[in-house]
């Protein structure tokens, strides 16, 4: 993944940018009653920013639609984001570098044309080609030949329009060669830019944009800008994630508050996130009762110690600060229960997550913290830096107060005006104290919580952390073709990082959405989306 796609959470809503996949997450709710298999479901939406093409849209409003219109090679499982073959018959590799992908036959696009291997290769080449200026173009970066079609320098002309790493073998088989071994490529191809495109798109892109044709569970019916996007069930759909209703109305709202009122009144059926005003004092629980939906998300909040500040090179100080943080209390009060305390560097709900990796160092223990602080010999003032907008200030100010009380030293929250300004400080390695380091993963893999953050020179290694042992294990894990074995390696690295504590895990966001009374069941996914296949409409 390139830097531009690294999804640092600026606002809670930004989490929704990262992924939009057909997968399931944590909780769903069901209530008894007769089901209407041809019912209509209306969901909360925002006006898509770009055309409804797989690689053109990365923001939440558009990817919601694109996700329903197209199906990819793999889907994500509800419980832990692990993958299952959706359109793929098999994906095999021996070295995590060359992947042999066979696709299921018999699938068709909404216009009746069969889905062939060539449709994937063409769509991926289209997405990666710099001149097509697709938002998600950088997602194709791991594929060999990417730099030829999409040079790093924005002004440079691409020398080719096809990636050398993609090769069509037959109608149902193609080969992907990566530029370096990457064991999580199988997970990445579940993301929307890796969708296939029908031949009709390449024949007339303009007409296609007006009426997109995909291979997903829903087909496009109509679109009224800033008001409504209507989709309908595609009856010839062959995938496992078939939907159990007929029409999907994506209602476009400009305000979450309005949508929330509609939801409570039964005029809207599903929202994947609730407005802040509903979360204060857990008002939504009183409003909605058992219609509330929860899910684990792909986010990990942490406070990084910039190791280029000499004081923080003392591991005892880092441990003391971590143990002085009353995560339980802060998540319950200041964060109004929309977060849960973190116990490691990987959030729960990710394949490979282990309970309590951070162990006692992430458990509130003021006595031990004080003792460690004395051993570290640190005196002076601590600061936590962050942007102060978007509700970032309150939990960190509370964190500082917790540290102050437990350790008896001064701690102050230092706010930058906005997210961009704050990231400028972090990227320029100009932190003078601890800094907020919240991460939102690009795809549901343990790898994405470790490589970019803790590898030497990682794109978002805010601590400037460098441990040769960790680097070595991560590299081995990347090159391990068998995903179970790769995850074992990543877990090993995770434990080493937890020992060094280059940043302290704080809390993980809980997805909170809601359904209306008109639905019997609904499910919120780990990507903060609706699981379309889980909707059941009341008869």
Partner 1 sequence: MSDPGSVSGGTGLEASAAAGVDQLSHVDDSSQKQKKPRSLWSDAWGELRRKPTFIISLVIIAVIVLMAIWPTLFTSVDPRAANLDKSLQPPSGDAWFGYDLQGYDVYARAMHGARASLLVGIFATVLTVLIGSIIGIFAGYAKTWIDSVLSRFADIFAGIPFVLGAIVILTTLNAPTENPSVTRIITQVVLSIAVLSWPVAMRIMRSATLVAKQQDYVKAARGLGASPLRIVIRHLLPNTVAPVLVYATIALGAFIGAEATLAFLGIGLRPPVVSWGVMISESRDYFQSAPHMLLFPAGFVTITVLAFVMLGDAVRDALDPKSR
Residue pair 185/142 in contact (Cβ under 8 Å)? The answer is yes
Under DSSP, is residue 485 helix (H, G, I), strand (E, B) or coil?
Answer: helix
Q: Write out the E strands in 274-421.
A: 292-296, 299-300, 302-304, 339-341, 382-387, 411-416
Q: How far is the CB of 11 from partner 1 (least distance, A)?
A: 14
Sole window of 88-96, 102-110, 346-354, 389-397 interacting with partner 1 (rule: CB under 8 A): 389-397
Two tokens, residue 280: 């204060």
Determine which residue in the list 30, 258, 405, 456 makes contact with partner 1, applying CB under 8 A: 405
H helical segments located in 84-233: 117-128, 146-149, 185-188, 199-203, 205-210
Question: Does residue 276 bind partner 1 (CB under 8 A)?
Answer: yes
Query: Applying CB under 8 A, does 391 fall inside the site for partner 1?
Result: yes
**Six token digits for residue 263:** 């939801």
Binding map of partner 1 across residues 90-119, x = CB under 8 A, - = no contact: ------------------------------
Return the structure tokens found at 464.
């400037």
d(CA 385, CA 304): 10
Residue 217: phi and psi, rounded to 5, are -70, -20
**CB of residue 386 vs partner 1: minimum separation in angstroms?**
11
- Contact present, 422 and 11 (Cβ < 8 Å): no
Note whether 386 binds partner 1 by CB under 8 A: no
Using rule CB under 8 A, residue 414 touches partner 1: yes
Q: Is 377 in the site for partner 1 (CB under 8 A)?
A: no
Binding partner 1 (rule: CB under 8 A), the pick from 133, 180, 421, 485 is 421
**Among residues 147, 247, 363, 418, the one that binds partner 1 under rule CB under 8 A:** 418
DSSP string, 253-313: -S-HHHHHHHHHHTS--EESS--HHHHGGGHHHHHHGGGEEEEE-SEE-EEE--TTSGGGG
What is the size of the binding site for partner 1 (CB under 8 A)? 34
Site pattern 460..499 for partner 1 (x: CB under 8 A): ----------------------------------------
Closest by Cα among 29, 9, 7, 32 to 19: 7
Contact present, 164 and 148 (Cβ < 8 Å): yes
Stretch that binds partner 1, among 115-123, 158-166, 276-284, 512-520 (CB under 8 A): 276-284
Shortest Å distance, C-beta 334 to partner 1: 6
268 counts as binding partner 1 under rule CB under 8 A:
no
Among 36, 40, 247, 401, binds partner 1 (CB under 8 A): 401
Distance between CA atoms of 470 and 280, rounded to whole angstroms? 41
Beta strand pairing call for 270-271 and 74-76: unpaired
**C-beta of 323 vs 497, nearer to partner 1:** 323
**412 is an interface residue for partner 1 by CB under 8 A:** yes
How is residue 1 written in tokens? 């993944």
Q: Does 384 bind partner 1 (CB under 8 A)?
A: no
Q: What is the CA radius of gyration of the chain?
A: 23
The CB-of-360 to partner 1 minimum distance in angstroms stands at 22
**φ, ψ dihedrals at 508, nearest 5°:** -120, 135
**Per-residue string for binding with partner 1, 300-339, x by CB under 8 A?**
--------------------------x--xx--xx-----
| Residues facing 512 on adjacent strands | 294
**Nearest residue (CB) to partner 1, 265 versus 280:** 280
Using CB atoms within 10 Å of the CB of residue 441, give its burial: 0 to 12 exposed, 13 to 18 middle, 19+ buried.
buried
Using CB under 8 A, pick the residue from 90, 226, 277, 456 that binds partner 1. Answer: 277
Angle between helix axes 483-500 and 447-454 (nearest 10 degrees) is 40
Nearer of residues 11 and 210 to partner 1, judged by Cβ: 11
Under the binding rule (CB under 8 A), the answer on residue 397 touching partner 1 is yes
Q: How far is the CB of 16 from partner 1 (least distance, A)?
A: 21
415 part of the interface to partner 1, by CB under 8 A: yes
First to last CA, the chain: 45
Choosing from 281, 356, 359, 377, the residue that interacts with partner 1 (CB under 8 A) is 281
Print the binding letters for residues 122-161 with partner 1: x by CB under 8 A, - otherwise.
----------------------------------------
Distance between CA atoms of residues 392 and 12, nearest Å = 10
Rule CB under 8 A: choose which of 398, 450, 486, 512 binds partner 1. 398
Pick one of 178, 274, 425, 486: the residue that binds partner 1 (CB under 8 A): 425
Residues within the interface to partner 1 (CB under 8 A): 276-277, 280-281, 283, 326, 329-330, 333-334, 388-389, 391, 393-394, 397-398, 401-402, 404-405, 412-418, 420-422, 424-425, 430
């Amino acid at each position: 993944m390139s830097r531009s796609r690294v999804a640092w959470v600026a606002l809670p809503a930004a989490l929704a940018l990262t992924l939009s996949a057909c997968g399931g997450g944590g909780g769903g709710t069901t209530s008894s009653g007769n089901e209407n298999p041809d019912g209509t479901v209306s969901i909360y939406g925002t006006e898509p920013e770009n055309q409804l093409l797989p690689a053109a849209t990365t923001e939440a409003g558009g990817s919601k639609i694109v996700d329903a219109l197209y199906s990819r090679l793999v889907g994500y499982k509800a419980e832990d984001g692990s993958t299952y073959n959706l359109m793929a018959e098999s994906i095999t590799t021996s070295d995590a570098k060359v992947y042999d992908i066979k696709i299921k036959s018999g699938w068709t696009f909404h216009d009746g044309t069969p889905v062939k291997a060539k449709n994937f290769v063409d769509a991926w080449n289209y997405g990666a080609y710099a001149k097509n200026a697709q938002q998600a173009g950088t997602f194709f970066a791991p594929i060999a030949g990417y730099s030829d079609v999409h040079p790093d320098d924005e002004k440079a002309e691409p020398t080719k329009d096809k990636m050398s790493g993609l090769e069509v073998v037959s109608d149902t088989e193609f080969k992907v060669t990566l530029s370096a071994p990457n064991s999580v490529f199988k997970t990445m191809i579940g993301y929307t830019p890796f969708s296939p495109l029908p031949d009709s798109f390449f024949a007339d892109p303009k007409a296609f944009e007006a009426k997109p044709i995909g291979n997903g569970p829903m087909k496009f019916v109509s679109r009224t800008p800033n008001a409504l996007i209507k989709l309908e069930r595609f009856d010839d759909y062959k995938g496992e994630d078939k939907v159990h209703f007929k029409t999907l109305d994506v209602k476009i709202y400009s305000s979450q508050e309005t949508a929330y009122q509609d939801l409570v009144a039964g005029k809207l059926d599903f929202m994947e996130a609730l407005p802040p005003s509903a979360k204060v004092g857990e008002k939504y629980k009183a409003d909605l009762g058992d219609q509330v939906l929860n899910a684990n998300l792909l986010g990990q909040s942490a406070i990084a110690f910039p190791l280029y500040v000499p004081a923080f090179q003392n591991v005892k100080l880092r441990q003391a600060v971590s143990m002085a943080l009353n995560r339980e209390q802060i998540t319950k009060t200041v964060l109004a229960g929309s977060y849960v305390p973190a116990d490691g560097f990987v959030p729960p709900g990710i394949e490979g997550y282990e309970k309590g990796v951070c162990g006692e160092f992430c458990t509130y223990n003021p006595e031990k913290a004080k003792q460690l602080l004395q051993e570290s010999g640190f005196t002076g003032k601590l600061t936590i830096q962050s942007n102060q907008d978007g509700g970032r200030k309150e939990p960190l100010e509370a964190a500082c107060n917790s540290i102050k009380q437990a350790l008896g030293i001064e701690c102050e929250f230092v706010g930058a005006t906005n997210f961009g300004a704050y990231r400028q400080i972090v990227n320029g390695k100009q932190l003078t104290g601890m800094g907020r380091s919240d991460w939102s993963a690009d795809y549901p893999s343990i790898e994405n919580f470790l490589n970019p953050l803790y590898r030497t020179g990682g794109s978002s290694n805010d601590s400037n952390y460098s441990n040769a042992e960790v680097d070595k294990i991560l590299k081995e894990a990347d090159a391990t073709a068998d995903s179970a074995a790769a995850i074992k390696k990543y877990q090993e690295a995770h434990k080493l990082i937890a020992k060094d504590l280059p940043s302290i895990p704080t809390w993980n966001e809980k997805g909170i959405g809601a359904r209306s009374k008109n639905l019997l069941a609904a499910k919120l996914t780990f990507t903060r989306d609706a699981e379309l296949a889980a909707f059941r409409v009341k008869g």
